Amino acid sequence: MQEEFKDYFEAARIAGSLADVARSLVKPGASLLKTAEAIEKEIIAGGGKPAFPVNLSLNEEAAHRTPSLEDKSVFGEKDVVKVDFGVHVNGSIIDTALTIDLSQENAKLVETAEKALENALSVMKAGVEVKAVGAEIEKTIRNAGFKPIENLCGHSLDVFLLHSGEEIPNTARGSYVLQEGDVFAIEPFATTGGGRVVDSSQPAEIFSLLQPKNVRLPSSRKLIELAFSEYNLLPFAKRWLSKAFVSEPSLNLALNDLVRQNLLHPYHILKEINGGLVAQAETTAIVEKDSVKTLV
């Protein structure tokens, strides 16, 4: 296994210290933009690359918030912050997340997501249906008095593919049977709300290329070439591309054109349907015959 998964182990080594980095940065009054950029720089300094933009989702936001270059937002004293980050080495991805409760008033919610992750890992091994893993997540969260977010899930990982086809649900569903050697990101979400997320109306700041293709607009061609050469099919931040374009309107034109042609996928911020607080816990693991090998 050591040789086959060596790039995963190297990505895990880089990711291993980042939770402590995140905890040192996420403080009331700190800039979201500077925090995201600092974590991304740590990934690169460690010898890896970001597998996707650092997500800093607040309170009722479950995922997909990353700051723009113009974002002046700072963390509030009562924010519940989901810090979701990924590291890849040669396309092998570690995906991990933690929740930081700045008010210290939502410890039970945060601990419930963490316990759901722990319990999910305890039942995972080759031959187990993902339905059984989802049932364990759901039971843990509901027994604590919260709801799992039913339309979010963990996901299988492959080289340069963040979501490679199979799911680890947060409820008792799914028929896939775990196979030895599968690599999964497992990510329970617990909420005080209704248990579903919806797209927010805010403009997306994260995108991924669905397929490289010849297009008419010069700015769109430039964006495709840049995105594919730098990020392959992995998600990227709009702010990462700004320096390569002469103006913001030119970049926006290319993004909108490629989304319209279904060549780019936009990741809108996901918000809890009833405005409930959301906590997330996530790790990456390799399925083994009798257990899983947790990488971070």
Query: Which are the catalytic amino acids?
Result: 84, 95, 155, 163, 187, 282
Round to whole Å and give the CA distance between 96 and 281.
Answer: 8
Helix (H) or strand (E) holding 32: helix 32-45
Contacts of 22 (CB under 8 A, 6+ apart): 35, 39, 83, 85, 98, 100
Decide: 62 and 278 in contact? Cβ < 8 Å: yes
Round to whole Å and give the CA distance between 232 and 291.
Answer: 32
Helix (H) or strand (E) holding 81: strand 80-89
Return the half-sphere exposure (C-beta side, CA atoms, 13 A cut-off) of residue 32.
23
The residue type at 17: S
Contacts of 269 (CB under 8 A, 6+ apart): 57, 61, 63, 64, 65, 199, 200, 202, 204
